[in-house]
Structure 1
Amino acid sequence: MVTTGDTSERPAGSSAADRLVALVAVLVPSALAAGTLTALVVGVLLTDVTLFCRSLGGMLVAVLLVAVPARVRRRRRGRPAPRIALARIENRWVTHGEFADVPVRFDLTVAPDDAPAYRVIISEPVNLVDLADWPEGRTVVVTYDEGEPWQVELDRRPTDEWARRAAREQVGTAPERTRVKETKAGCACSAVLLGVVAGVLLVLHPYWSELESRYGDEPPAPGAAGPVVPGPGSGSRSGSTTVTTVTGSASSASTLRTGEMRRLANTLVTGMGTEMGTRVTIEEKVMSAVGSKGFSADAGFPMSLRALPYELLPGLVDTARTGLGVDTPESWRVDITTEGAGPAPVVRVTVSGHGKSGYLLADAVGRITERHPV
């Protein structure tokens, strides 16, 4: 008797829907893991506590939404029992080995009773003495995984019924187009790589400009050279001025956070198209500047926005909060200008609260020159 299984064409592997579900099951956790790890790193680099905590929360959500349901599904479904079928040995060859049991590759036609026959290559350890018992063209009994048809093993101790079937039935050779291969690992690696790239890009995109301004080409440190200002005879007498305002980072961080003022100053310079300005105003979550391309009698001498001592300003604000007699400070403001002060900028820090206010003045290197308490 000759058996070839179902005559319809067999799809190579599982259905398209199953492959799509498997792809998403690998892609989503990979993106979540890469995104949360990237957020952790970005949160540390930017000293952003909110982003750092969100990344930890995202990692917890990834575990709850992916790992736990997957484990529950596996426990409910369990491992399916292997199916039994007849198969024909189309070819066999010894790969390598120096011992009695050597790996032998078998090219098989597997013919399930209720599914189309297909071709597959497997590897099985066989003793050299028993190699003659597995000749080409022999009908043998195999076990296979219905969901992963490339998982095939020779059944060396079949039941009496299957042994009788293998002795009296023959399996026809399936066409080459039905051959199945283990493609799951390759697809999984591609899905993991795609998920990692997507997760990293999704997290980096909103913070890229902030990272670039902080860790890119740094401007000269304040104090290394005096403020860059043009001489009285250079530039236009009328000048051209622009007013540009920027707010804090996407996480609404205070401008007092380390490096935030300088980051916003770099954004202002980019927006105005010049690093020269006549006034800078800084508050809790906003920073604005008046840009100038030349000297103006009304606005004063332009100063370099990059050379201002932003790193010293949080300390001046703290001093003003505690040393000007304002018991409960509600707001603060820093004004840096050259108006009426010559080419050297003057820093004014004002603190207000409950209808009272006081201010202090400092020079271009952060030294306090005057105090005006409440």
Structure 2
Amino acid sequence: MVTTGETSARPTRSAARRLFSLLAVIVVSALAGGTLTAVVVGVMLKDGALFCGGLGGLLVSVLLVVVPARMRRSRAPVPVPRVALARIEHRRATNGEFADVPVRFDLTVAPDDAPAYRVYVHEQINLVDLADYPEGRIVVVTYPEAQPSGVELDRRPTEGWARRAAGARIDTAPEHTRVKPDDAGWSGCVAVLLGVLTGAALALLPLRSELDSRFGDAAPAPSGPSAASTVIPGASSGTTTTVTTVTGSASSASTLRPGEMRRLADTLVTGMGTELGTRITIEEKVMSAVGSKGTSTGGALPMSLRALPYELFPGLVDSARTGLGIEDPETWRIDITPEPGSPAPVVRVTVSGHGRSAYLLADAVGRITARHPG
């Protein structure tokens, strides 16, 4: 006899066992995700130690999955399906492109040693045989003993069960007895995905800086772009300040990146000590300016470096690359100077390639005013 305490303890033990299984799945999946990430990153960085360590960890994670699964299958008894009678309450067929169409049956299953219950069953039925399964007919079904929701139609029952089905009568079970499909598969998939993503993230965190320095668009710069100033010969009132994004690395950010020109312009202003200038030059990796203390240089009035429409310049470069007749331009350059006697800037975008060059002119709002094809 099973006591009440024993009966109430069984669901608790089952829930605890299932929680432990999900945690084990997450841990093994995290190991697999982390080691697989290490293998990929090891190839990318050409790091033999990282690659070998990741490959070894990946093999361990595979063994942790395969070996326990085989041991469980070898110890588990061969499942014997339960056989029962069921009443077809409703059926609904959907259109299919082949002779077999998917049909959803609403069944009342009546086991011999348990109360009747309702369940939905999905089967592929041939159009010719669909008339053999009318609503109200008693059919023979099978299901795993531990999974009442896994019901399947027995299309070739034994002679004894066929006779029972022909003379049986089953009352419709109430809706509250309906059993739902086991969600262990979904929870297992979620646990695997969570574990793989967690493992990959943990493996990438310590390698992030090395990946950024090797493959990132910009090298890490703790203090931002550096500014260097030199005095222009013959211009006693101006200085040239050069800003680059290179900080001890061969790779650098392109000035065409969104916001990059504006950021470099702010660094120029800080390096010069003034936001006024009489000339600005922008290239792929470098930006320079001739600063001014407010006096004219060679008849040109200084312009404000912060007032220029830097956000429009990448579009002008793209127009020059594609619309001036230079096929596959190799270099580009933006020269910004004030109009004679006015601080209004004139923007000149020059592209060069294959021994040819061409340029276009634009005004202070980025509107193209002239094109000079190559």
The structure showing larger relative contact order (alpha-carbon pairs under 8 Å, at least 6 residues apart) is 1
TM-score, normalised with respect to structure 2: 0.48
TM-score, normalised with respect to structure 1: 0.48
